[in-house]
Structure 1
Amino acid sequence: MGIVIVGSLNYDLVTYTDRVPEEGETIKANLFETHVGGKGFNQAIGISRLMPKYEESCIKMIGSVGNDSFGKDLIEMLSQNRVESSNIKVVPDIKTGTATILVEKQSGQNRILIAAGANSYSEYSDAQLERIFTDYNDNDRTFVVLQNEIPGTLDIMHWLRENRPHSEVFYNPSPFLSLSQEQWRMVDVLVVNEIEALQVVESAFGVSYGNKLKTLISENFVEGYKTIALELQKKLINPCNLSSVVITLGEKGCVYISKLEETPGFVEAIRVPRVIDTTGAGDTFLGGIVSQLYQGIELKDAVKFSTIASSLSIQRNGAADSIPTYAEIVI
């Protein structure tokens, strides 16, 4: 078994401010910081830190960086967190991807601008994928984690289904990309936030059906999203393997369902003294889900664990830098 994360690697340029400036306005910021990041990178670090114990080469990161200091820092950070990085491409004459992030002081909410840079080169031929996944044969149970910050995501899913059918695809469709129903069936574990959940419904079942579910949400927020989770799990994603849907609901909590549960479950969010920075909270949550399911933990307990992990991360600055360790949660 093993866990392979294929995704983006960015360098985060973070500015903390009392409020976001209006159009044409210049205001004084409070603080500027740099952090390693990117959804793929954050999730790899999250999985590593939230795993109690694993073999050195168990977790692998696949992606691209530029031949610059940002790229070197990202690879070094992966090494420090015991994530194998030999299949990360270093693209000459191209800058490492960057994310410019504005964080509001009072709410901790963020706004993010992404320049893809070397991430645009994360597309892979069949021969390259065969080499990357050469250690995993058809009978291996491999977790593969994917997002939408690189161009090759759907091609990788297709290749896995044809060549590594026992692999289990964890998909976090952010930023959102509309897929056909056939493409959604390639997903084993779908992890989305409340906005993305509605986007998936409209993409797969149509806008009018999405409007019906929006009405349910307006009448009862949690029950509405439980209905969406059930619909996506029963009618859309791969019915084999783990077959799970997790929808995060911000400060309200999280709903979830797998093929082991007859009805969706709900876990309340943990109240924290102060939200410092929500950047990377979703990636921390997904890291917790993957790390727990990899150990054979049931989904409901994985969600509880991940809720604690993300509640700790939002009380710290940065994305990958804010992710807690397994020991911080179980103590």
Structure 2
Amino acid sequence: MTIRLGTRRSALAMAQSQQVADRLAAVSGREVVLVPITSEGDVNRASLATLGGRGVFATRLREALLAGECDVLVHSLKDLPTAPAPGLVIAATPQRQDARDVVITRDGTPLAELHGSVGTGSPRRVAQVHEFNPRVRVADLRGNVDSRLGRVRDAELDAVILAAAGLNRLGDADPLGGLHVEPLGLAEWPTAPGQGSLAVEVREGSDLEGVVAALDDADTRTAVDAERAVLAALDGGCAAPVGVHASVTVPTTPPRAAGASRGASGRVGPNTLRIRAIVYSSDGRRRIGEDQTFSLPEAYAQDKGSGNGADAVVGANPISARKAGFDVARRLLDRGAADLVPRESTP
């Protein structure tokens, strides 16, 4: 009756998978053990820009799940290709952690004031750094969190850019050790679709599908579905220079529209989904952005809701998260985004 949870071997992957394993054990009443698996991305040291969106961090894990080597997988959602994997289903997206990027430096110099070198392997982050501060030199960077931070600590680089969620999930193993952290706001620095989120994947039809679903967070799933729909519609890979962040909110003041009614749970008006998306040229000299807010279906508003208010809603009819993401992507494409996004290399 033991549940075997497949995970990449890195310290971060093991830490976040153990957190999911603990929750899964609590809801299932069964022992959950980790099964470390080596992905292509763990052994191929090529640049992420070269590897593109081929699922280099997920393909080997998915093969292991389909072969019965494990019963469930935990992925960093931003590493998953947007195309569905035949025979598999994402049964849960647990509550999202901090979706922001952070800049790590020795002395706390803000990114806008740096004149040295910044390390990152992400084409999106490269473009954002070039746009934010054209004076700095960007160095290609791969490796685990410790090795990246070591490049700053040893003065090989003046800064590196990492995901805040990764640092948070390391918990007691936090490797910062006196280095300085500068969080980057999501409004002007949107991150990878799904960043800060995990995906818990099982075989389609598995008896674990319902058990794992207990870990799902509806707000997180709605937001990341919209973000991944934007990327899918742009036909961009996981490493495309696209930043997207979506969030679900609930209005806290009565809507001004005549005839607006109060929902079954006492909330006023519908939940809304806000999507901010920016497509960058690789050198950061061009960007095309969209910021849209959509009304969510009534059933969602009655069942879920937390937030600090809503912006003006696009259209009167409720819309699904994926459809909202496709709509944002269409607007970006209409404005020329196709010229900036490399085509997805996943078959």
TM-score by length of 1: 0.25
TM-score by length of 2: 0.24
- Bigger share in helix: 1
Q: Pick the structure with greater CA Rg.
A: 2
